Amino acid sequence: MSTIATLRPHQREEQTASVGMVVFLASWAMMFAGLFFSYGFVRSRAGAWPPPGIPVLPIALPALNTAVMLGSSLIFSLGLRELRRGNVRAFQRALSVTIVLGLVFLALQIYVWQSVSQAGLHLNTGLYGSVFYCLTAFHALHVAVGLVILMVVLARSLLGKYSEHNTISVRLCTMFWHFVDVVWILMFVTIYLM
């Protein structure tokens, strides 16, 4: 058993919250796994992929989005580290950048949807359209919800709620954000690259 001297304040509560978050994220991962399974299943049983007549998906913007997500995750992690050291201002700056990058991601994603839709790929353009929009929209929904939570956290931080003695909520948010990032990477690889 650790002695008090080697534990950060509230570390035990943070560990419990983290365990809960891991379990929660495992659940979420399995939901995405169901969707990825569907994607793989549909694709393996289709002849050509994409099916003839379907517009080709862009790669450049989604690749940029991948960089955006990775960057946001990195900066957010650094922000948490600053918070743990007591540098609240630095944490708030990092969190703001993370939120901006998240918004950039969503904006680019909407742009990609618009351009693909103009080229003729819609939600009900066969299985291909259904799967593409379902996966990317479901992920984007998680980014959006995550952003709302991050904005609430930023607001509360500006009100002085978070410090090196109170990092649990922020830690949970970073876990969720990293999860959303990893899901995006998998999605980028399977939908756009493969």
Binding site for another protein (CB under 8 A): 1, 4, 7, 12-13, 15-16, 19-20, 23-24, 26-28, 30-35, 37-38, 41-42, 45, 123-124, 126-127, 129-131, 133-134, 138
DSSP conformation class of 166: B
First to last CA, the chain: 48
Judged by CB, which is closer to another protein: 101, or 187? 187
CB of 44 to another protein, least distance (A): 10
CB of 184 to another protein, least distance (A): 17
Contact call for residues 188 and 112 (beta carbons, < 8 A): no
CB of 77 to another protein, least distance (A): 23
Judged by CB, which is closer to another protein: 28, or 64? 28
CB of 149 to another protein, least distance (A): 15
Judged by CB, which is closer to another protein: 79, or 129? 129
Judged by CB, which is closer to another protein: 70, or 134? 134
- Say what angle helices 88-118 and 126-158 make with each other, to 10 degrees: 160
Burial letters for 17-46: b for 16+ Cβ neighbours within 10 Å, e otherwise?
A: beeebeeebeeeeeebeebbeebeeebeee
Find the length of the chain.
194
